[in-house]
Structure 1
Amino acid sequence: MKTTKYGVMLLAAVLAFGAVTTSPVQAKVPAGTEVNDAKQVKTIVIKGSDAMQFDLKEIKVKAGQKVKLTLTHSGKLAKAAMGHNWVLLKPGVDVATFGSKAAAARETEYIPASEKASVIAHTKLVGGGESDTIEFTAPAKGTYTYICSFPGHYALMKGSFVVE
């Protein structure tokens, strides 16, 4: 019985001493090394208003980074009168041509079926007080255009999506 008692006390002492003297091992990054944060999710909130304006004219992300974008309609007008979406276009897409085709695509929330290959990502159409969140992977380095494709909005509601 004494052996068990001393064994338990010895085990408790070893555990207590080990708990006091051990610390987690931390990874060290050599000085001058850039930590690649492309694997971290970039969260973006962009607002569209009844004045046909996005509150962000430029968005910056890293190539290959996961992007979680929320479009919020900060106005009060209904979707039918002043709907907004956020559409990220591929390089080389003519915005005016896309916008003209989008104006006729009411049944697909102003994303023309004939132009789906021109779109990298897009939200749903939202009205006043509504929002929509999408997730996608940032494309290759470059500068891309984003617009609202509701009829006539692309002229004012556009910006640059910069991928570094």
Structure 2
Amino acid sequence: MIKKLLGGATFLFFASSAFANDCAVTVESNDAMQFNTSNVVIPASCDEFTVTLKHTGQLPKQSMGHNWVMTAKADGQAVATDGMSAGLDNNYIKPNDERVIGATEIIGGGEETSTTFSVKGLSKDEDYMFFCSFPGHIGIMQGTVTLES
């Protein structure tokens, strides 16, 4: 949009969404074991996608840590179960687990982290999910990942 101001000066104004990164999203988590969204949409134009996770709570990661993990929906529960024995030092994800598409580290209250992963090989015919792999959290903290056509 072009605006003319007093004195004849012309300025170009753009809606903020014109500069928004469509290949990134911020997801918040809290001390009540909740994500602020139940669906993450990845546009078809993206080769890579970045998820930033913010923990808006106050509890430390040892007692109420959260991460953001993406897998095929069919793999989610098994990845979370296998991750329990991997421990906090491995962010409750089995090392080198090929079922994990993208994952952040475990963070506590007031912390933020992000992950960037390739979406080139993902299929629109597959169902994907995201969840927190901290032990016991997947039951409540999960959602869907939608690939746009």
TM-score band, normalised by the shorter chain? 0.7 to 0.9
In the alignment, what sits opposite 2:92? 110
- Measure the CA separation in 2 of the matches of 1:79 and 1:140: 33
Equivalent residue for 1:51, pick from 32, 51, 56: 32
- 2:140 aligned with 1:140, yes or no? no
- Structure with the bigger percentage of helix: 1
User: Is residue 78 from structure 1 mapped to residue 54 from structure 2 by the alignment?
Assistant: no
Q: Could you tell me the percent identity over the aligned residues?
A: 33
RMSD: 1.7
Count of equivalent residues:
123
User: By how many angstroms is 1:48 displaced?
Assistant: 0.8
Q: Secondary structure of the equivalent of 2:37?
A: coil
Structure 1 runs (4+) deviating above 3 angstroms are none
Once the 2 structures are TM-superposed, how far is the Cα of residue 97 of structure 1 from its aligned partner? 2.6
In structure 1, distance between residues paired with 2:136 and 2:42: 28
Match of 2:139 in 1: 155
Q: Is contact 1:63–1:140 with CA below 8 Å preserved after alignment? A: no
Q: Which ranges of structure 1 fall in alignment gaps of 5 or more residues? A: 1-39
- Residue 107 of structure 2: aligned partner: 126
Tell me, in whole angstroms, the C-alpha distance in 1 between the residues paired with 2:123 and 2:43.
Answer: 9
Query: Conserved in 1, the CA contact under 8 Å of 2:72 and 2:127?
Result: no
Q: Does 1:101 align with 2:82?
A: yes
- TM-score normalised according to structure 1 size: 0.69
TM-score normalised by structure 2 residue count: 0.75
Tell me the alpha carbon deviations over residues 49-77 of structure 1, each in whole angstroms, 9 at most, x when there is no partner: 10001101001112461312100001000
Would you say the 8 A contact 1:49–1:74 is kept in 2? Answer: yes
Residue ranges of structure 2 left out of the alignment (5+ in a row):
1-20
Partner Cα distance (1:122, 1:160) in 2: 15
Greater strand proportion: 2
Partner secondary structure for residue 112 of structure 1: coil
Checking the alignment, whether the CA contact within 8 Å between 1:64 and 1:137 is kept in structure 2 is no
Query: Is residue 80–residue 93 contact of structure 2 (8 Å, CA) maintained in 1?
Result: no
